Amino acid sequence: MVYALDPDADGELLWETRAGSGGTMGGIHYGMSSDGDGLFVGVSDLPTKNPYNVGEGQPGIHRLDLASGAIEWRNLLPNVCGETKFLCFQGISAAVSSSPGLVFAGGLDGMLRAFDAESGAILWETNTVQEYGDINGVRGFGGAIEADGPVIAGGSVYITSGYEKWGEQPGNMLLVYSIKK
């Protein structure tokens, strides 16, 4: 559930919207982002069969109207995991970040994507689950993107790739991508 509270009215509830099925593994984990009009919500919705889930899973990214909570669009992501010995799923557990016109989100599957803020269309994506060169003399590996989301600063997007807890794809990378206009 996503809740909007009015800080000027002692936290009065303005609206609430169900973005995913939720449940014991949660749906919305670490953080949302806003451009002032829309609220960008990453939803994990791991496929579990427990009585706390409500409805079908909605793993992906969702834009809610900031004033009303109405869902303006959803981009439900495909499962690109294939065969792997690690827990792999297309949901977004890490925090979501945005800049004018763009939304960045990393997935439990190691995919980093840039979405169009108005339509939700995927503008760019890269799979961070790979081996990286040894600029500093140490090989690196990417993995699941979990918890901390993309950081946007100075025309670049920074992301950590690799999260071993819960059996997810381990890794040890800090990756930097340039934002080109």
List the domain boundaries for the chain.
2-178
> How far from the centroid of its chain's Cα atoms is residue 173's Cα?
18
Q: Is the pLDDT of residue 50 over 80?
A: no
Query: Which residues, in sequence order, are CB contacts of 37 under 8 Å at separation 6+?
Result: 65, 66
Q: Can you tell me the distance from the alpha carbon of 93 to that of 163, in angstroms, rounded to the nearest whole number?
A: 11
pLDDT of the residue at 166: 67
Helix (H), strand (E) at residue 48: none
Which residues are within 8 A (CB) of 90 and not within 5 positions of it... i.e. 6 or more apart? 59, 60, 77, 78, 79, 80, 81, 107, 108, 109, 111
Comparing C-alpha atoms, which of 73, 148, 84 is closest to residue 112? 148
Question: Domain 2-178 is in which class?
Answer: mainly beta
The predicted pLDDT at position 25 comes to 67
pLDDT-derived band of residue 163, with 50, 70 and 90 as boundaries? confident
Structure tokens at 169: 């794809």
The pLDDT > 90 percentage for the chain reads 64
Give the C-alpha separation, 24 to 99, whole Å.
Answer: 31
Beta bridge partners of 42: 61
Strands 122-127 and 173-178: unpaired
Instruction: Give the Cα separation of 30 and 88 in Å (integer).
Output: 18
3-state class (DSSP) for residue 8 = helix
Tens digits of per-residue pLDDT, 111-157?
A: 999 999 999 999 999 999 999 987 788 889 998 898 889 999 999 99
Is pLDDT of 43 > 80?
yes
Among the listed residues 92, 97, 175, the one whose alpha carbon sits nearest the alpha carbon of residue 129: 175
Which carries the bigger pLDDT value, residue 108 or residue 50?
108
What does DSSP assign to residue 168? B
**Residue with token string 């009585």:** 51
Q: What is the mean pLDDT of residues 77-91?
A: 79
